[in-house]
Amino acid sequence: MQGEGFDYDKAGVNIEAGDALVQRIKKMVGSNFRSGVLTEIGGFAGFFKPEWQCYREPVLAAATDGVGTKLKIAMLMHKHDTVGIDLVAMCVNDLVVQGAEPLFFLDYLAVGKLDVDQAASIISGVVEGCRQAGCALLGGETAEMPGFYPPGEYDLAGFAVGMGERGGILTGDNITRGDVVIGLPSSGLHSNGYSLVRKVLFEHAGLTVDSLCPPLQCTLGEELLKPTTIYVSLLLPLLQQYPIKGVAHITGGGLQLNLLRILPFHVRARLEKKSWEIPAIFHLLQEKGNISEEEMFRTFNMGIGMAMIAPATAADEILKSVTAKGSQALIIGHIEKHEGQEPEVVIADI
């Protein structure tokens, strides 16, 4: 018996909804383009013309990342317009710490069933993140995957390309004894450690996104959904003006493991825990999960989203420059000689 014929819609993929999404976001995305963009959203590929003449020896840099299980918080909150900021932040912050200016960004959104309103809200956050980073949203892909993701659930990935001077690539190789560590505050958890966060606060402590926890100035869900800080507009001028030797984006692995990534052999970074105020969300997590301080510093940013290392003689000017831009920076530690070959990060008073 032959029966009724199948089509893509009966398999769970709505081509018309995909086209509707493209039309919905075209104006939104186009308004965010920077100079160099040669094509509109909707083509097979995006084209970008870099300003090669502005560089002596230009090099391209690329980074990719996702938002992780923080997306579960967005789904619980039915609020999807900020996770795109997280997505952009996780990529462009990785570019700028090595001295590259973000040029353009591409996103990948995978859904179980395409909800045009939900997807447009997600992309609005990506556009806002690109605006903050000064880069163009050059293109992207929305994949409807029924049977792979449950309806209402989705995943996000992003890809950023930037440009810098070959001679200006920051490696941290010249970090030496006497340098200082300057911290730029985070907006909270940023986009790391959420598997542990959900395990502790929701499964173990029995809290919900609507819980009001006295140390926090908002509901737990609102706190957990705060978008990751994008540091590009603050960091790029600092890197051009001051002899900053290395910058670490504090993501998965926390302060300890991310600082290790930029330290050369035979040095130790000693961080003074009391030199900055650790936000309440980290104290709440530590208390509810009975998590050791060592584990906290190896997992979370603990209130420091970026750590710069610079000569002590330049520290005051860097702090003044950050303050003049309406942001905050703190000296949170220093570099000392380490007799062992492998670099080390020590958190004082753990």
Report domain extents, the chain: 15-168, 180-348
15-168 fold: 60s Ribosomal Protein L30; Chain: A; (3.30.1330)
Long-range pairs of 233-237 with CB within 8 A, sequence gap ≥ 24: 233/132, 233/133, 233/134, 234/184, 234/322, 234/325, 234/327, 235/96, 235/97, 235/184, 235/306, 235/308, 236/96, 236/101, 237/321
| Of 100, 154, 153, 157, the residue nearest 126 (C-alpha) | 157
pLDDT in tens, the chain (350 residues): 455 654 456 555 556 666 777 777 777 776 556 788 877 777 788 888 888 888 899 999 999 999 999 999 999 999 999 999 999 999 999 999 999 999 999 999 999 988 989 999 999 999 999 999 999 999 899 998 988 999 889 999 999 999 999 999 999 999 999 999 999 999 999 999 999 999 999 999 999 999 999 889 899 999 999 999 999 999 999 999 999 999 999 999 999 999 999 999 999 999 999 999 999 999 999 999 999 999 999 999 999 999 999 999 999 999 999 999 999 999 999 999 998 889 999 998 85
According to DSSP, the residues that pair with 307 across neighbouring strands are 183, 248
* Token pair in block for residue 3: 């029966």
* Angle between helices 70-77 and 83-96 in degrees, nearest 10: 160
* Token pair in block for residue 123: 């992309």
| Of 335, 306, 342, the residue nearest 175 (C-alpha) | 335
* DSSP codes, 199-212: IIIIIIS---TT-B
- pLDDT attached to residue 34: 77
Q: How far apart are CA 286 and CA 295, in angstroms?
A: 9
According to DSSP, the residues that pair with 308 across neighbouring strands are 182, 247
Domains 15-168 and 180-348 share a fold: no
Q: How far apart are CA 260 and CA 248, in angstroms?
A: 9
* Token pair in block for residue 122: 């997600």
Find where tokens 């994949």 sit: 143
According to DSSP, the residues that pair with 143 across neighbouring strands are 110
Q: How far apart are CA 62 and CA 203, in angstroms?
A: 37
Name the burial class of residue 166, with classes exposed (0-12), middle (13-18) and buried (19+) by CB atoms within 10 angstroms of its CB: exposed
- pLDDT attached to residue 7: 47
Name the burial class of residue 305, with classes exposed (0-12), middle (13-18) and buried (19+) by CB atoms within 10 angstroms of its CB: buried
Whether 216 contacts 284, CB under 8 Å:
yes
**What residues contact residue 128 under an 8 Å CB cut-off, 6+ apart?**
81, 84, 85
Using CA atoms, how far residue 57 sits from 135, 165, 213, 287, in Å, is: 21, 6, 52, 51
CATH code for 180-348?
Answer: 3.90.650.10
Task: Fill in the amino acid letter for 265.
Answer: F
Instruction: Evaluate if pTM is beyond 0.85.
Output: yes
Task: Fill in the amino acid letter for 327.
Answer: S
Instruction: Provide the pairing of β-strand 180-185 with 304-310.
Output: antiparallel
Which phi and psi angles does 93 have, rounded to 5°?
-65, -35
